[in-house]
Amino acid sequence: MKFNIPDDKKVRVILDTDLKNEVDDQFALAHAMLTESFDIRAIIPAHFGTSKSKTSQKDSYDETVVVLGKMGMLTGAPLYNGAERAVPDEKTPVPSPGADIIIKEAMKDDKRPLYISFLGPLTDMASALLIEPKIAKRDITLIWIGGGDYPDGGREYNLKNDICAANVVFKSNVKLWQVPRNVYRMMPVSFAELYDKVYPCGEIGKYLAENVVNFNNAAASRPAEYRILGDSPAVGLMLFDGCGEWSEVPAPEFDGEMKYVHGKNHRNIRVYKSINSRFILEDFYAKLKSAYM
């Protein structure tokens, strides 16, 4: 599907993803790679803590290779490893090629907008800010899929894997759009829909659909016939920032129980209250069909 979008109309995109954590990041990555208006500057496979794997960053890298390979897009893909672990505190970065490419792209003299979407922990962004604080003043937009339900917060997986990094980012001056748990859960799809819209679309479509079913069936606590594609709002918002309702609020901090601590006089951030799931899913289905059917 070619729209002949001029280069100066494209947005620069960095995608930081804990791809092997579950099965929704894969959809967001595939969607981003199929989007003509995105100039993908970097894909950063991220860690997802140690509770599921002691090599989670490598696992994410390996899964990224699988997805891009099934899309026929692995050759020349801009892959940069993220940090292998969370930051130890709010003052100490974990250097990585991922943090380096964030700094490099943020400091470029490029008039096109730069979106940096995080589908997992904020480790690589926090490290980049700690290594080069000047990037907080650059024209970048950070989108984070993470944080507990507003306004109270509480346990949330992406936040759990690096609370210190989240505090570094939320206390900074970087432009931030947050999609908290109560909003990213507005992206349900049924197995029937996946097998109708996704499965027929080549090797990647078959992999995406079967991966969801196999994952849910292997986990006793998972629902029988649907899945929430919670990372896909990041792609939708880079396409159209009005793809949902939002409020501008002073950035909170996070305590050890992952609850929001308000009233800290930080700069305002955008917090989404809803997301247009049909806009996002139908755009993905159309692009997948055009590319692989």
| Cβ(244)–Cβ(237) below 8 Å | yes
Beta strands at 226-228 and 253-254: parallel, antiparallel or unpaired: unpaired
Q: Is the pLDDT of residue 2 over 90?
A: no
Report, as an integer, the average pLDDT of 219-223: 72
- DSSP H or E run through 131: helix 123-131
Q: How many domains does the chain have?
A: 1
Residue 5: inside a domain, yes or no?
A: no
Confidence of residue 224 (pLDDT cuts 50, 70, 90): confident
CATH number for position 63? 3.90.245.10
Q: What is the pLDDT of residues 159-215, one digit of tens each?
A: 999 999 999 999 999 999 999 999 999 999 999 999 999 999 999 999 999 999 999
Residue 4: inside a domain, yes or no?
A: no
Report, as an integer, the average pLDDT of 240-251: 97
Residue 2: inside a domain, yes or no?
A: no
Residue 127: inside a domain, yes or no?
A: yes
Measured CA to CA, the distance from residue 159 to residue 157 in angstroms comes to 5
Confidence (pTM): 0.97
Q: What is the pLDDT of residues 90-144, one digit of tens each?
A: 999 999 999 999 999 999 999 999 999 999 999 999 999 999 999 999 999 999 9
More confident residue, 213 or 219: 213
Q: What pLDDT shows up at residue 1?
A: 60
Residue 103: inside a domain, yes or no?
A: yes
Q: DSSP states of 139-205 as a string? A: SEEEEEE---STTTB---HHHHTTHHHHHHHHHS-SEEEEE-HHHHTT-EEEHHHHHHHTTTSHHHH
Measured CA to CA, the distance from residue 277 to residue 281 in angstroms comes to 6
| Cβ(105)–Cβ(132) below 8 Å | no
Residue 240: inside a domain, yes or no?
A: yes
Name 144's bridge partners: 118, 178
Residue 65 structural domain: 12-292
Residue 73: inside a domain, yes or no?
A: yes
